[in-house]
Amino acid sequence: MDNETLQSRAESIALTYFGRPFIHRIYFNHRLRTTGGRYLLKSHDIEINPKQYEHFGEAAIDAIIKHELCHYFLHLDGKGYQHRDSDFKKLSQMVHAPRFCTPTETYRERANYEYMCTKCHQKFLRIRKVNTRKMRCGRCGGGLKITSYLS
């Protein structure tokens, strides 16, 4: 699927489910990693994670488009467009838009570092490096040491 197909798909979903036209841009952003899509407040454009299409297909893209269009139309109407707002919850329930998308990677796959407690030998996976002088084991309070670099 290319950006032009994505654009026409979003325009048809907007008319079908919301009864209003989508007049801004929607496109794939290959830099998105942990989110399925993103509505940009200043430009009113929508970015979609192409990994969602690669892993889960067109149905996942349609669901993400519906979710982002909820943000879009509520923001343009001056209503509560954030996830915690009742307006957003009502609209997304009305159009059957999901609250979250299915992750393409697990935390274990994204982890770059493995730490181990020097006291109880509990292992911890982390995406970012932690300061072992400050951080302690959450289970027993013992010190941490790095055991491997996973990346």
Cβ 120 vs Cβ 139: under 8 Å? yes
Whether 47 is catalytic is no
Residue 67, annotated as binding a ligand: yes
β-strand pairing of 26-28 with 46-48: parallel
Side-chain-side CA neighbours of 14 within 13 Å: the count stands at 21
Please give the distance of CA 112 from its chain centroid, rounded to a whole number.
20
Which of these is catalytic: 47, 68, 105, 114?
68
Q: Is 82 exposed, middle or buried (0-12, 13-18, 19+ CB in 10 A)?
A: exposed
What positions carry a catalytic annotation?
A: 68
Output the known binding site for Zn(2+). Answer: 67, 71
